[in-house]
Structure 1
């Protein structure tokens, strides 16, 4: 594979064809599968940054493009259908791309929710949540915390300080309120992206810049996956 170029694989799902954008590591130690949000695609800056940089650290990165997006529709399908397409696309991907390697699931926004809901079914070693939508903007009573609590494997949450779907401080408070038993043996680590909104944007002339925050995100995700690949932090 040419460095920095995706191998695009069309996959059949009950919702129609989806796509896997695969960036392979030369000597992989783990596979990281990422899903996109309901308002964007696999070209989101944080997903692209992970695909660009983690293969050099031994992580094969694939970004799953949902069938509704491949079909050119502008509105995402219902959560059960998102899960169905994701499961169909990823069911055998670990064995195909990295036999015996840990499979780490993740995504941004709605993609993070899908990863949490399907982690057990796919035997994930861990889950990466980029901008987890804790609740709809202005509706904290409609919490989605139970989805973040579902996996019993380590979870890493990268959350903006200005995220209207729940900033990092609110995610931490919700987890603290749930208690250790509810959070699960794997635990959840929340890393704040200072000044970032739900899309990872920061105000003009902000410090740290959006590029700085993407660098932080890549370092945190890279370290998280490396720990999983070496067995650190995985519950017995």
Structure 2
């Protein structure tokens, strides 16, 4: 089911994949360089409903409008705030999720919006080659239970670069920023995606 939401940043779109007996909602958005067709987002929408988690794939207003470049963080946050009432309407606990730039939005707004938890897919810890430009503060400041799923070869931050904190981290070995693995890797692409979904299933089952 597709739902159109008007926000202060423009028109957003939700694509719902509902669980029959939902106990949680995952609202998860795309990054600055892609949409909800990302392999990990598609996989989560396919797998999680069978585990009691309804999934809303979120398209930010700039993406719905057909623009190629994401706006400033404050505009992304405004779009997210505007669509939040629609994902929280059921009264179920909502996990705020996103990949890359979307993960940053989820972390920045989690406490303010009353998110039950944060799912950060490919959190961009720093720009490629610029570790001094750390965004760790956003991750560490989420204020709620947080799961990071990170590719082992992500140029935006490899797992070993992440600071200590109360969040959990699942590594996708050999994965890049989109969890793509090279052909020479000892696991194939389906196995890499399965690490993502299995990790999220286990973590979401542990949430109260």
TM-score, normalised on structure 2?
Answer: 0.97
Residues 156-175 of structure 1: pairs in structure 2 closer than 5 A: 156-171=147-162, 175=163
Compute the displacement of 1:92 (Å).
4.1
The corresponding residue for 1:180 is: none
Larger radius of gyration between Structure 1 and Structure 2: 1
Find the aligned partners of 1:92 and 1:75 in 2 and give their Cα distance: 25
The corresponding residue for 1:121 is: 112
CA RMSD, Structure 1 to Structure 2 (Å): 1.0
- Are positions 1:53 and 2:32 aligned together? no
The corresponding residue for 2:82 is: 88
The corresponding residue for 1:198 is: 177
Contact 2:117–2:144, Cα closer than 8 Å, also in 1: yes
Structure 2: which 5+ runs fail to align? none
TM-score, normalised on structure 1?
Answer: 0.86
User: Secondary structure in 2 aligned to 1:34?
Assistant: strand
- TM superposition outliers: structure 1 runs of 4+ over 4 Å: none
Contact 2:107–2:118, Cα closer than 8 Å, also in 1: yes
* Greater mean alpha carbon deviation, residues 215-224 or residues 199-208: 199-208
Find the aligned partners of 1:128 and 1:39 in 2 and give their Cα distance: 18
Compute the displacement of 1:219 (Å).
1.1
The corresponding residue for 2:139 is: 148
1:226 corresponds, among 184, 205, 208, to 205
- Are positions 1:111 and 2:90 aligned together? no
2:123 corresponds, among 119, 122, 132, to 132
Find the aligned partners of 2:66 and 2:79 in 1 and give their Cα distance: 16
Find the aligned partners of 2:67 and 2:185 in 1 and give their Cα distance: 34
What does the per-residue CA deviation read over 1:163-218, in whole Å, with 9 as the maximum and x for residues that have no partner?
Answer: 000111111xxx23xxxxxx4xxx21111110001111111142212210111111
Alignment coverage as a number of residue pairs: 208
